[in-house]
Amino acid sequence: MSVKRLTVDYDKVNEGGSFSPGDVLSGRVTVVTTKETKVQSFLVRAKGKAEVTWCEQEGQSAVVHSDKKKYFYFEHVILQDKNKGDGSEIISSGRNVYPFTFVIPNTDMPSSYEGKWGKIAYSLRAHLTQSIWLVHKTKIEFPFLTKSEFPFASKSEMIIIGLKEQQRASRISFSASENVAINITSEKMGAKQGEATGVTAEVRNNSARPVTPKFYLVEKQTFAARSKRTVHTNEILLGEGESVPAQTGRTVTKVLSIPPQLHPTFLNCCMMKLEHRLKVRLDAPLLRNPEVKLPLVILLASPKPQRPKPKRSIWFRKLPA
């Protein structure tokens, strides 16, 4: 084993380290060998793809549903022997560095994302083949960020119009002769990562027990493989309102902070999409479906302005006494 180490890395184009459509992706492949090494081929690839996989029980057997989509694929040949496998190309002993450059296509592509049963990934891979039995591989993923402020595909126009509009929903829940009515109003439909948004719950409690409104953010992941679909949901508790006593009414207002690490809503991938909902659930025994949901679009947070570097302190000479 004359090849001791094979690595691939890239140069960052911004402080966040992410790439976007049209950016130049430059880097280098480094190979360390203990002696002169003959190789059949040596190349580096840049790839962007989405893939989904999940398993379902159908009758007596388990069926795997999977699909994938390629956004781009580039290959840069570093070394390639001319006689198809005789190992005529040689890597010298020691540390060898090979630069490469790719230009990311300037087209609409979804941001990097990893969900329950699917992933959108952008990566660099290096392959060094010494023989059919001896192949060295290495891989590194790089973060990719769409340029689209509203990555919602065909639904963008409808959603963008309502991002700043108030949203309302109502529900009445019954249990025997008791009932509880709830009206929900959210300040707006769109909120950025880390931003706060106000939600008001008007609760009329005609039951014999107190009820407590709880506020949730629901993340809905949808995956598609050809004609099959599956959904995974995740709930995040954002806050709890004041309890509403029995046979009374109360208006509860809550300011909810969107988690800054939450992935933005996106619909511009044909195999998976990520949607969000605000949900208010009444914590009350014996009530059936005491909850209301409102749509919420999570937008990418604006980049933080760069702070000027502090000036270096001035050192004064010590004057003679």
> What pLDDT sits at residue 264?
93
Q: Is 270 within 8 Å of 291 (Cβ atoms)?
A: no
Q: Which of 94, 96, 97, 98 is nearest to 33 (CA)?
A: 94
Buried-state track 239-265, b at ≥16 Cβ within 10 A, e below 16:
eebeebeeeeebebebebebeeebbbb
> What pLDDT sits at residue 148?
75
3-state helix, strand, coil in the chain (%, to 5): 5, 60, 40
> What pLDDT sits at residue 86?
59
Whole-Å CA distances, 271 to 50, 135, 197, 201, 314: 7, 32, 30, 36, 58
Region 48-62 average pLDDT: 90
List, as one string, the DSSP characters of 219-280. Answer: EEEEEEETTEEEEEEEEEEEEE---B-TTEEEEEEEEEEPPTTSPPPB---SSEEEEEEEEE
Q: Over 90: is that where the pLDDT of 7 sits?
A: yes
Element (H, E) at 162: helix 156-162
Q: How far apart are CA 18 and CA 141, in angstroms?
A: 11
**pLDDT band at 282; cut points 50, 70, 90:** confident
List, as one string, the DSSP characters of 87-119. Answer: --EEEPSEEEEEEEEEE---S--PPPEE-SSEE
> What pLDDT sits at residue 315?
45
Lowest mean pLDDT among 36-40, 125-129, 175-179, 315-319: 315-319
Q: Which of 235, 224, 263 is nearest to 54 (CA)?
A: 224
Q: How far apart are CA 160 and CA 254, in angstroms?
A: 24
Region 179-208 average pLDDT: 88
Region 23-40 average pLDDT: 93
Region 186-203 average pLDDT: 89
Q: Which of 298, 158, 123, 161 is nearest to 218 (CA)?
A: 298
* Collapsed DSSP state (helix, strand, coil) of residue 153: helix
* Collapsed DSSP state (helix, strand, coil) of residue 284: coil
Which domains, from first to last, does the chain contain?
Answer: 3-141 (2.60.40.640), 153-299 (2.60.40.640)
- Summarised one tens digit per residue, pLDDT across range 79-123 is 887 665 556 688 899 999 999 999 999 998 999 999 999 999 999
> What pLDDT sits at residue 123?
97
Region 287-314 average pLDDT: 70
Q: Over 50: is that where the pLDDT of 75 sits?
A: yes
For the chain, what's the residue count? 321
Region 59-64 average pLDDT: 87
Region 274-291 average pLDDT: 82
Q: Which amino acid is at 269?
A: C
**pLDDT band at 53; cut points 50, 70, 90:** very high
> What pLDDT sits at residue 316?
42
Region 263-289 average pLDDT: 86
- Summarised one tens digit per residue, pLDDT across range 201-248 is 999 888 888 888 999 999 999 999 988 999 999 999 999 989 999 899
- Summarised one tens digit per residue, pLDDT across range 156-185 is 555 555 666 676 766 665 555 568 888 888
Rounded to the nearest integer, the mean pLDDT of the chain is 85
What's the gap between Cα 284 and its chain centre?
35
Position with higher pLDDT, 321 vs 221: 221
Q: Which of 265, 274, 252, 4 is nearest to 128 (CA)?
A: 4
Lowest mean pLDDT among 11-15, 236-240, 261-265, 279-283: 279-283
